[in-house]
Amino acid sequence: MQSRFRSDRRLTARMGVTLFLLGLLYVGFVAALIVLLKSWVLVVVIAAALLGAQYWFSDRIALYAMRGRVVEREEYPGLHGVVDRLCAIADMPKPVVAVSDIDMPNAFATGRNADHAVVCVTTGLLRRLEKDELEGVLAHELSHVAHKDVAVITVASFLGVIAGLIVRFAFYSQLFGGGRRDQNTAVVFAAVMGVSAAVYAISFVLIRALSRYRELSADRSAALLTGRPSALASALTKVSGDIARIPTKDLRTAQAFNAFYFSPALGREPGIARFFSTHPSLEQRLDQLGRISAELGEAAAPGGA
């Protein structure tokens, strides 16, 4: 079913190209492992099993990792009310609503499609945002679901994890299994590690380039759906400022899931590292929302708290 979120053909094209390139990359990776390890059954079965598990259980994995739990309307009526209203406006299925009991103000969406999606917000976000700001953040997350980029980034982000697990498993299998019979174990190990490092580096760049664009696309779609880009800009400003004040040790676990978050769990704005970031800079996001606000003739200036 087509939602009322404005379509983004450039996002669709980027997702297609990214998945195609990653697909070629990992076919080559698996082929290289088969040649090096001489066990195609082992490599293919483990790769397929892990990728399938990630695709089907990504929502549960993300919720567990971020200490999220599904909540009913009776417990969070206001949150459910905002999600209900946005889903009605967007003409899309309502996702499962969850809350993570952590102070870091943030939100994320996960799931393999619109019918199996989860939108989760932290209690820190609920405490800090006004209703219109929360609506902007949730519209942003629902846009990820509607555009299907949440499923794409879920699969793409974990391909590197899968590659690492394959390498580790295969290495120990070779080391403790056939290592006594094969004098070239060290050479095989070095070759596998070299291929793995190259695959990880290329996938790292591809995924982050897609992630930065999809965040701008979700901001744009959310602003146009709600008609309140200033509210989303205000939420971004609040969230980014508050995250910067959260102790670094409290952000370490969350940083592994930055690609899924509304705002990256970073203690400060990165320097040159922004080119490898999962999100565009706050300035870029506010600038885009400012242009949309001017186009819509919105009275309130974006960026104000």
* Annotation says 141 is catalytic: yes
Q: What is the dihedral of CA 9, 10, 11, 14, to 10 degrees?
A: 120
Distance CA(212)–CA(208), nearest Å, equals 6
Taking only the tens place, the pLDDT of each residue in 7-39 is: 788 888 988 888 888 888 877 877 876 776 677
Predicted confidence band of residue 79 (pLDDT cuts 50, 70, 90): very high
Residue 134 has a CB neighbour count (10 Å cut-off) of 21
Q: What is the dihedral of CA 124, 83, 80, 145, to 10 degrees?
A: -80
Average pLDDT, the chain: 81
Pairing of strands 117-122, 96-100: parallel
Distance CA(246)–CA(206), nearest Å, equals 29
Assigned token pair, 257:
């899931």
pLDDT attached to residue 292:
95
pTM of this prediction? Answer: 0.81
Q: Identify the active-site residue in 75, 141, 269, 283.
A: 141
Q: Quick one: angle between helices 282-296 and 229-244, nearest 10?
A: 160
Predicted confidence band of residue 61 (pLDDT cuts 50, 70, 90): confident
Residue 29 has a CB neighbour count (10 Å cut-off) of 26
Instruction: Say if residue 223's pLDDT is above 60.
Output: yes
Assigned token pair, 176:
């403790």
Known binding residues? 140, 144, 215
Span 182-207, mean pLDDT?
A: 74
Task: Map out the domains of the chain as residue ranges.
Answer: 9-299
CA quadruple 126, 130, 131, 135: dihedral sign: negative
Known binding residues for Zn(2+)? 140, 144, 215
- Distances, alpha carbon 43 to alpha carbons 21, 55, 182, 191, 295, in Å: 20, 18, 19, 15, 53
